[in-house]
Amino acid sequence: MKAVKTSTLTLLLTGFFSHTALAGVADYVYVPNVEYGEKEIDFKTGTAKLANGKRAQVSSIGVGYGVTEYWFTEVYFKHEREGDEGLSIGEWENKFQLTETGKYPVDLGLTVEIEAPLNKNQSYELKLAPMLQTNFDKIQLNGNLTFESTFGPGQKPMQLGYQWQAKYRWKPQFEFGLQGFGDMGKWNDWNNADAQDHRMGPAIFGKIGLGVKQAIKYNAALLLGTSAAAANRTFRMQVEYEF
């Protein structure tokens, strides 16, 4: 990593960098599919022991609605904690399906997410994530890039990250595969390899029907750090009630 002034480094560690590391604990892989009229209650959680020795925990709950055949919107409340310090956040996430499912070899989508801290002296965040999905028989592959900018205290140039997922659709109730997440640093000037954050590991997925237009969807992963800056182990989980 390039040399930086002490004051800048202090701001980085106490502001945006710490917040970003926490947020990644409960990140999930975006998928480009939208179902018109679908309503959901969504719960996400994640935990990891960070490189500084502290335990990071993130949980969120939200409500979402498929407004059109190509636009799904969700508002949720999130709480992040690192050691004894906590941060509450409100988020508005919008997913846009840009191509008809299965019409082309690759499905395209875009996620736009705005994050507003409920605590004072914290930064706002804007995230854009173009999404790709393709299928080979029972194998589904997803690959996304994330571009994240912050505004306010701890403001930092746009950061680049990625998400990927490979799953085998064995049964609707139980599918399995791999997930991976990473943070590269500044979008046009990546961090050195030892300062990048890369995590990957096994994942499970499923959808359990409860009746007409009602179901429970779940996915969970145990992610292992594959770089020096990543947490050794991260557990993340998402559960949705669709109706």
Distance CA 9, CA 17 (A): 10
Q: Average pLDDT of the chain?
A: 89
In contact, 116 and 124? CB cutoff 8 Å: yes
CA 79 to mean position of chain CA atoms: 15
Distance CA 87, CA 227 (A): 26
Q: Is 22 helix (H, G, I), strand (E, B) or coil?
A: helix
pLDDT at 50 over 90: no
Residue 63: both structure tokens together:
């409500």
Distance CA 109, CA 19 (A): 26
Architecture of the structural domain at 6-242: Beta Barrel (2.40)
CA 140 to mean position of chain CA atoms: 18
- pTM score, whole prediction: 0.86
pLDDT at 15 over 90: no
Q: Is 86 helix (H, G, I), strand (E, B) or coil?
A: strand
Going from N- to C-terminal start, the domains of the chain cover 6-242
Q: Which tens digit of pLDDT belongs to each residue from 134-193?
A: 999 999 999 999 999 998 877 788 999 999 999 999 999 999 999 999 999 999 989 998
Residue 24, exposed/middle/buried by CB under 10 A (0-12, 13-18, 19+)? buried
CA 143 to each of CA 29, 42, 45, 75, 149: distance values in angstroms, whole numbers, following the listed order: 8, 22, 22, 24, 20
Q: Is 186 helix (H, G, I), strand (E, B) or coil?
A: strand
Distance CA 201, CA 99 (A): 29
Label residue 17 by pLDDT band (50, 70, 90): very low
Of the ranges 50-59, 86-95, 175-184, which one carries the lowest mean pLDDT score? 50-59
Of the ranges 26-30, 103-107, 152-156, which one carries the lowest mean pLDDT score? 152-156
Strands 85-97 vs 107-117: parallel, antiparallel or unpaired: antiparallel
In contact, 187 and 204? CB cutoff 8 Å: no
